Structure 1
Amino acid sequence: MTVNDDSFTNWKNREEIAESMIPIIGKLHRERDVTVLLHSRSLVNKSVVSILKTHRFARQIAGEELSVTETLPFLQALTTLDLGPSQIDIAMLAETYRSDDRGLSVAEFTAEAVAGATGDDKIERREPRDVVLYGFGRIGRLVARLLIEKAGSGNGLRLRAVVVRQGGEQDIVKRASLLRRDSIHGQFQGTITVDEANSKIIANGNEIKVIYAGDPSEVDYTAYGIKDAILIDNTGKWRDREGLSKHLRPGIDKVVLTAPGKGDVPNIVHGVNHDTIKPDEQILSCASCTTNAIVPPLKAMADEYGVLRGHVETVHSFTNDQNLLDNYHNSDRRGRSAPLNMVITETGAASAVAKALPDLQAKITGSSIRVPVPDVSIAILNLQLARETSREEVLDYLRNVSLTSPLMRQIDFTSAPDAVSNDFIGSRHASIVDAGATKVEGDNAILYLWYDNEFGYSCQVIRVVQHVSGVEYPTYPAPVV
């Protein structure tokens, strides 16, 4: 047998193992509301090849490839336990088991590591929480995709309605088509049908009522059987408490804004300050995509090294706010053609840091350049640290933060030497540290942070909504603080 034959046989064996994992992962998700993760990446509804690629990705950040032969025993051990709703990272189980010297079996170690999700300690499955989307643009449709994806267990969040202004003929058909096909993020994973007579879009069995209204005051959500819902405002039309309060209509309990809030509206970056949300707070903001990209790594660096001052320069993809061709615009420069120019503009991300990290005393400044790409941006975070360090130390630290810390869902890490913006379309992290571009000299560190300003941000929005709705389930093994 040749070396090539050996490689092919090994691949086929791993394919077979990954194939055997799929029904286990699906059953845990549907029957117990358990999401199986691998280095914080969900394996639910993933293909054989996707599972194998996710295992291989560990090589970039952990230094060596993680094999399905290592993780399968932990997955099998989970099926023997009386698990409650939770997220369980089998990569973390495998790696912490590797360093454990007590001689425990895989089954014994797994039972101990996820004990908080079993027996009397487990969380009971909750009734679904109604969600309404107000606006159905770029972020609205991606949030809809995520809500539909996460409805597979029948618990958690349930997208009940979308509120939009009435368009022309076949309005609902066109909106369904935009949900079905996306030029950047690809095809919707599943089936979509339209019930025009009842003004509904049915996506993977989820009946979504399309409500036409020109103003929040026109809608009584209880008329559609919606109660205690979380409304996600994707329009950005109202940014302060007074304006967003218009959404607090019958059937709506809380309002979440997908843009920076003004005045006393809390700006929340999940992973950093979501635990400061007061239980009775009805209005909050998820800040901006750039704020979500820079605040988690800024917090990580401040916690370890201290930060005296900093500047963030974002090279940002163009957005719907800009013109395709030169035309009148209220803002300076944004009237010039977005696909043909680099456009210098302002960013509120730097000033928003103070809301998310009130204990950070460092002055952070910022500016932005819009560039002719439709998605994925990069933030260049230039920091003066409180102590000197080295490039190797910073990279080792950030790699570990991305793998095992409470920020592992916010911060990703790549050492790929040829990485470019397209590689990060669909990333579910708030930002990705580019190891190859990182520069450190003495007390100065420059981090290059990629982020999918559409999809990665939408994932952060969903995490905030899960938290305020009470369906954000704990992760095991617990992240290292």
Structure 2
Amino acid sequence: MTVKDDSFTDWKNREEIAESMIPMIGRLHRERDVTVLLHSRSLVNKSVVSILKTHRFARQIAGEELSVTDTLPFVQALTTLDLGPSQIDIGRLAEIYKTDERGLSVAEFTAEAVAGATGGNKIERREPRDVVLYGFGRIGRLVARLLIEKAGSGNGLRLRAIVVRGGGDQDIVKRASLLRRDSIHGQFQGTITVDEAEGAIIANGNTIKVIYANDPSEVDYTAYGIKDAILIDNTGKWRDREGLSQHLRPGIDKVVLTAPGKGDVPNIVHGVNHDTVKPDEQILSCASCTTNAIVPPLKAMADEYGVLRGHVETVHSFTNDQNLLDNYHKADRRGRSAPLNMVITETGAASAVAKALPDLKAPITGSSIRVPVPDVSIAILSLRLGRETTREEVLDYLRDVSLTSPLKRQIDFTTAPDAVSMDFVGSRHASIIDAGATKVDGDNAILYLWYDNEFGYSCQVIRVVQHVSGVEYPTYPSAV
């Protein structure tokens, strides 16, 4: 048999193994609210090829490809356990098991590693928490996709309604179509139908009421059977506590803003300061996409090396706030054609760092350039460190942070030498460290951080909502 034949046979064998994983992963998710991860990447509802690619991706981080033959026994072991709602990373299980010298079987090791999610220790499955989207633009529709995807067994978060201004004939049909197809993020994974008589969009069996209102005061959510809901304001129209408090109508318990909050509104970056949210806090902000991109790696660097000062330059994709062609705009320069120009503008991300990292006393400055790409941005973070180091040390540290630390859902890591912006469309991390572009000289470090300013940010929003709703389930094995 030739090498080519050997490679093809090996591929078919791995396909068969990955295919056998799919029903087990699906049952764990639907029946027990268990999300199976591989190095922080969900394997739920993934195809055979997606599962294999996710395993192969591990070589960029850990230096060698992770085989499905290594992880299958852990999936099989999970199906035999009395698991409660949780997230279980089989990549981490396989990695730790290799270094365990006690001679335990995979089943014994797995049962021990996830003991906090089994038997009397497991979390009870909660009733779904109602969610309302106020606004249905770029972020609103991506958040909707994520909420529908995560509906899973029917527990957790449940998207009940969207609130929009009326748009004339076939308004609901057009909004459903925008949810169904996206020029950047592709087709919706599932089926979408419209019930015009009931004024609802039905997505993967989830009935989502479309409520028309020009102002928060016009809506009584209890009239739609909505109670104790979390409202996500995607409009950015109100950013202070007084304005956002208008959403605290009958049926709404908390308000989450998908833009930087002003005044005393807490700006929350999941993974960094989400644990500071007080249980009785009703209004909070998820900050900006750029703040979410820079704060986690900034915290990681400050924790290890100390940071004396820094500057962030963001090269940001254009947004709907800009004009397609030159036209009046209240802000300087943003009136110029977005797809034709690089546009210098301001960013509030640097000043927002203080809210998310109050213990970081280092001054951080920032500026931004909008460029003619529709999605994915890059933040160039230039830091003066508290001690001298080397490029190799920094990269080894950040690689480990992306794999094993509490920030592993926020920080990703790539060594791909030819990576470009479109490669990161759909990334669920807040930012991706580009190892090849990283520069270190003594106590100066420059990090290049890619981020999907639409989808990656939307994932951060969902994580915050899960946290404040009480349906953010623990991850095993625990981060060290």
Normalised by the shorter chain, which TM-score bucket?
A: over 0.9
Instruction: Provide, for residues 42-80 of structure 1, a one-character-per-residue CA deviation record: whole Å limited to 9, x for no partner.
Output: 000000000000000000011000000000000100011
**What is the distance in 2 between the residues matched to 1:452 and 1:369?**
16
Map 1:29-428; keep pairs closer than 5 Å. Answer: 29-428=29-428
1:290 and 1:393 map into 2 onto residues whose CA distance is 26
CA distance in 2, matches of 1:15, 1:411: 29
Structure 1: which 4+ aligned runs deviate by more than 6 Å? none
Q: CA separation in 1, counterparts of 2:461 and 2:471?
A: 14
Structure 1 unaligned spans of 5+: none
**How far apart are 1:41 and its partner, in Å?**
0.2
> Partners of 2:70 and 2:421 in 1: how far apart?
32
CA distance in 1, matches of 2:262, 2:96: 43
C-alpha distance in 2, partners of 1:82/1:228? 30
Report the Cα distance in structure 1 between the residues aligned to 2:69 and 2:290, rounded to whole angstroms. 39
In structure 1, how many angstroms separate the alpha carbons of the residues matched to 2:311 and 2:116? 41
Q: Matches of 1:349 and 1:103 in 2, distance apart?
A: 50
Please give the alpha-carbon distance, in whole angstroms, between the structure 1 residues aligned to 2:103 and 2:305: 37
Unaligned runs of 5+ in 2: none
Q: What RMSD, in angstroms, separates the aligned Cα atoms of the two structures?
A: 0.4
User: d(CA) in 2 for partners of 1:91 and 1:208?
Assistant: 36
Cα displacement (A) at 1:152? 1.7
Deviations 1:281-328 (A, max 9, x none): 000000000000000000000000000000000000000000000000
Aligned counterparts of 2:154 and 2:241: Cα–Cα separation in 1:
33
Specify the SS of the correspondent of 2:294.
helix
C-alpha distance in 1 between matches for 2:34 and 2:149: 14
Deviation at 1:82, TM superposition (A): 0.3
Give me the whole-angstrom Cα distance separating, in 2, the residues matched to 1:126 and 1:169.
39
Distance 2:183 2:229 in 1: 31
Deviations 1:182-239 (A, max 9, x none): 0000000000000001100000000000000000000000000000000000000000
SS at match of 2:402: helix
**Distance apart, 1:153 and its partner CA:** 1.4
Q: Name the SS of the counterpart of 2:151 in structure 1.
A: helix
* Structure 1 position 107, deviation (Å): 0.5
Structure 1 residue 14: Cα displacement: 0.1
Q: Deviations over 1:372-404 (max 9, x none)?
A: 000000000000000000000000000000000
SS of residue matched to 2:395 = helix
Shift of 1:167: 0.3
CA distance in 2, matches of 1:89, 1:136: 33
Supply the distance in 1 between the matched residues of 2:259 and 2:344 (Cα, whole angstroms). Answer: 20
In structure 2, the residue corresponding to 1:380 is in which secondary structure? strand
- Rounded to whole Å, the distance in 1 between the matches of 2:195 and 2:122 is 40
Instruction: State the distance in 2 between where 1:351 and 1:308 align.
Output: 16
User: How much does 1:168 deviate?
Assistant: 1.6
The separation in 1 between residues aligned to 2:30 and 2:265, in whole angstroms, is 36
d(CA) in 2 for partners of 1:50, 1:144: 22
Q: Secondary structure at the match of 2:374?
A: coil
Secondary structure (helix, strand or coil) at the match of 1:445 reads strand
Partners of 1:270 and 1:369 in 2: how far apart?
25
1:101, 1:441 → 2: CA distance? 39
Structure 1 match to 2:458? 458
CA distance in 1, matches of 2:270, 2:296: 9
Q: What TM-score, normalized to structure 1?
A: 1.00
CA deviation string 1:12-45 (max 9, x = no partner): 0000000000000000000000000000000000
Deviation sequence 1:422-477 (CA, Å, 0-9, x none) = 00000000000000000000000000000000000000000000000000000000
Question: Partners in 1 of 2:99 and 2:366 — Cα distance?
Answer: 42
Find the aligned partners of 1:327 and 1:226 in 2 and give their Cα distance: 41
Give me the whole-angstrom Cα distance separating, in 1, the residues matched to 2:56 and 2:155: 31
| Cα distance in 2 for residues equivalent to 1:441 and 1:21 | 46
Q: Distance in 2 between matches of 1:119 and 1:397?
A: 36
- Tell me how far apart the structure 2 counterparts of residues 99 and 444 of structure 1 sit (CA, whole Å): 35
Cα distance in 2 between the residues matched to 1:98 and 1:128: 38
Q: Distance in 1 between matches of 2:375 and 2:103?
A: 49
Aligned-partner Cα distance in 1 for 2:296–2:100: 30
Could you give the per-residue CA deviations for residues 97-131 of structure 1, whole angstroms, max 9, x where no partner exists? 00111111101100000000001111000000000
In 1, the alpha carbon distance for the partners of 2:22 and 2:106 equals 20
Secondary structure at the counterpart of residue 326 of structure 1: coil
Name the TM-score, length of structure 2 as normaliser.
Answer: 1.00
SS at match of 2:131: strand
